[in-house]
Amino acid sequence: MAAKIIDGEAVAERIKTQVAADAAELTKAGKTPHLVAVQVGENPASKIYTNMQAKACESVGIEYELLNLPDDISRDALLAKIGQLNGDPKVSGLILQMPLPAGIDARTVQQAIAPAKDVEGMHPENMGRLFYGGGVVSPCTAAAAVELLKSTCDDLAGKEAVVVGHSEIVGKPIAAILLQSLHAAPTVTVCHVATKDLAAHTSKADIVFVATGVPQVRWLSYNRKKKAGETPPLPDLSPLVSAEMLKAGAIVIDVAINRIPKGFDENGDPIKNDKGKNDMRTVGDVDYEAAKEKVGAITPVPGGVGPVTVAMLLQNTVACAKAT
């Protein structure tokens, strides 16, 4: 029997409906949520994200401001600007757009954002509160992944959950969120690059989160070598997790978004589309087509975690506005 496809768009709309209601109440009370995105220099990829953020905020009644700073700004000047925004009572939340110019450490700047305005939930203080089972915000992607799980399974007590990937913004926070309940938490195993037998863990799991981006990493590594004049072997862009590695009836939350070529020509270059550009596809870390015939529920890529991550950013912005 085919798996239930977990509709991220539908879950995101449900969250946004509640966010809009909360934002309206705050506005009525004279505390309209106000999100400021700080961008240093011009970046075409970043522009896509900021446009998306602006539209999403507008749709739920959150004021959005994109603050463009010159690409030659010094670290100290950038930190001073962050400090100024921290102290502005009209600003509910801050988000730092990536990448930053070379020579400016992103982590240092990220940690300069006041915890009360950290809508991405990445400040060490907010991470610490997450591990204590509380706090105002959680990292958006991790929270989105768990929200998708709960949309299809509301009883996690005693289930075996495996998290593949242990990054500080996705894998580790997912594990922490899953463990917050004293009596209704699943048993959580976290796998990573040093795990000796990944399939031994995933094949026994009732719930599997996968967040590594392995196909993307392999493609980017290959592409860098080609551009440097090397002739590397074609990369293995197959999914990290095959259907054989999953338990029948399991719930699979695929967090990864990999942009990889559909294939390669005889010279080892990506095949081109009708516009002469690399013909790319978007996939996750799981063999979706095969897995959906075996597991109980699965998120698609795209259309799964992505839309809910945006909704969580909006939810965090309103939560910060409420708390100030």
Query: What pLDDT score was predicted for residue 70?
Result: 94
> Does residue 44 fall inside a structural domain?
yes
In the predicted structure, residue 226 carries a pLDDT above the cut 90: yes
Give dist(CA 324, CA 108) in Å, integer.
24
147 and 109 together in one domain: no
Question: How much is the average pLDDT of 83-87?
Answer: 97
Q: What is the pLDDT of residues 39-80, one digit of tens each?
A: 998 877 788 889 999 999 999 999 999 999 999 999 999 999
CB 95 within 8 A of CB 137: no
194 and 298 both lie in a single domain:
yes
- Residue 48: the pLDDT is 82
The verdict on 93 and 172 lying in the same domain is no
In a 13 Å sphere around the CA of 172, the CA atoms on its Cβ side amount to 11
Q: Answer for the pair 202, 162: CB distance below 8 angstroms, yes or no.
A: yes
143 and 111 in a common domain: no
* pLDDT per position as a tens digit, 259-301: 999 999 999 999 999 999 999 999 999 999 999 999 999 999 9
What is the DSSP code string of 164-215? E---TTTHHHHHHHHT--SSSPPEEEEE-TT-S-HHHHHTT-SEEEE---HH
Domain match, 175 and 246 both? yes
Mark whether 278 and 172 lie in a shared domain.
yes
Judged against a pLDDT cut of 90, whether residue 214 lies above it is answered with yes
Q: How many domains does the chain have?
A: 2
Assess if residue 62 is contained within a domain: yes
Report which secondary-structure segment, H or E, holds 251: strand 251-254
Domain residue limits at 160: 139-307
Whether 193 is covered by a domain: the verdict is yes
Examine residue 279 and state whether it is found in any structural domain, yes or no: yes
Same domain, 227 and 281: yes
Confidence at 1, pLDDT banded by 50, 70, 90: low
Q: Specify whether 247 is located in the same domain as 296.
A: yes
Across the chain, mean pLDDT equals 95
The predicted pLDDT at position 182 comes to 84
Q: pLDDT for 16-31, tens place per residue?
A: 999 999 999 999 999 9
Q: Please state, in angstroms and as integers, the Cα–Cα distance from residue 185 to each residue in 67, 131, 150, following that order.
A: 41, 14, 12
Considering the domain architecture, whether residues 298 and 177 belong to the same structural domain is answered as yes
Question: Domain containing 289 — which CATH number?
Answer: 3.40.50.720
Do the domain assignments include residue 96? Answer: yes
- Reading the block at residue 49, the tokens are 């994200």
Segment 227-254, tens digit of pLDDT: 999 999 999 999 999 999 999 999 999 9
Q: Is 90 exceeded by the pLDDT of residue 154?
A: no
Q: 163-181, pLDDT tens digit by residue?
A: 999 999 999 999 999 999 8
Percent over 70 (pLDDT), the chain: 100
Q: Final residue of a domain: which of 60, 86, 117?
A: 117
Q: Return the CATH number at 104.
A: 3.40.50.10860
Task: Flag whether 9 is in a domain.
Answer: no
Task: State the chain's maximal CA–CA distance in angstroms.
Answer: 64
- C-alpha 188/C-alpha 193 separation (Å) is 17
**Closest by Cα among 291, 307, 310, 4 to 153:** 4
Tell me: do 102 and 181 sit in the same domain.
Answer: no
Q: 187 pairs with which residues across the strands? A: 160
Q: What is the pTM of this model?
A: 0.94
